[in-house]
Amino acid sequence: MRRLIAWLWLIPVPLTFGFDLVTGTGWPVIAGTVLAAAAVLPILVRIHAGRTPSRALRIAVLGLLVSLGFVAIAATLSLTVLWLSLITLALLGRFGARPRASVAMAVLALANITVAGMLPDGLIFGLVSTIVIIVAISIGLMQRFTDRSLAERRATAAEAERRRIATELHDVIAHEITGIVVLAQAAGRSDNAQLTSTALGRIEASGTRALDEIRRLVRRPAPRPHRAPRSPTAPKLCAIGSSPSATGRRSRSMSARSTTRQCGRCSTVCSSRP
């Protein structure tokens, strides 16, 4: 629906074009109308669709100035040229952030006001043209501010999502990996086959949990309620590393020192073991 509304400005074009061809007096006004419809309208459509850079609006401004010259020769009003001029001014207000775009906007606005002032009852036509030109430029500037605000909101949402994923990685996955490292070190320093087998099993379980968490982050990126970090492996490591039946005194002391250095969540438990 929003895209459909964005293209409603095309509806008056065939109506004004047919009106100008039927009521136009003399070839200059018809030539100006046809030139505006044939040369300027395709550029505006492509720019509005995002297929052409906005700097092509300068070409549209040049075509409209030529069309306004023909209209000035005929000393009449072309609704097609006026309407396409308003659309061009609105697009310049939306996309024209550079000084050249402001100059092109001012030139096109003054040209339309001047041509309207050359008509019979030129003061009235000039005043009406000034009002509608100000409205068109204001609409373009409002759209520019809306686009900028939308871009800022998207950037803020992306940054919030990045921080959420970083928090999940730190609180859950990093802890699982830390437990895997400590378990691997303890198993490597032990000569007991049963201890090594138990440590490898717990390493596999921790790796599986870490992999499941990564898959959850990828498949369901929507924010979830914050939960406390888990510590599934380190306390168990303390029991493994300090079991008198599993290793000798030297292996127990090396495992306990390694656990105390690398696992901050269970350092008190590990250091309190005999």
- Supply angle C-alpha 76, 80, 81, rounded to 5: 70
Mean pLDDT in residue range 157-182 = 82
Residue bearing the bigger pLDDT, 252 or 183: 183
pLDDT band at 259 (very low <50, low <70, confident <90, very high): very low
Is the per-residue pLDDT at 252 higher than 70? Answer: no
Mean pLDDT in residue range 72-85 = 90
Q: What is the pLDDT of residue 234?
A: 44
Residue 160: CA count within 13 A, CB half-sphere: 9
Residue 263, helix vs strand vs coil: coil
Q: For 100-110, how does the pLDDT look when each residue is reduced to its tens digit (9 = 90+)? A: 888 999 999 99
The CA distance from 199 to 1, in Å, is: 59
Mean pLDDT in residue range 208-236 = 61
Q: What is the DSSP track for 181-232?
A: HHHHHHHHT---HHHHHHHHHHHHHHHHHHHHHHHHHHH--S-----PPP-S
Whether the Cβ atoms of residue 62 and residue 104 lie closer than 8 Å to each other: no
Task: Write the CA distances from 125 to 16, 62, 113, 116, integer angstroms.
Answer: 17, 23, 8, 5
The CA distance from 200 to 192, in Å, is: 12
pLDDT band at 212 (very low <50, low <70, confident <90, very high): confident
Q: For 117-126, how does the pLDDT look when each residue is reduced to its tens digit (9 = 90+)? A: 888 877 888 8
Is the per-residue pLDDT at 31 higher than 50? Answer: yes
Q: What is the mean pLDDT of the chain?
A: 78
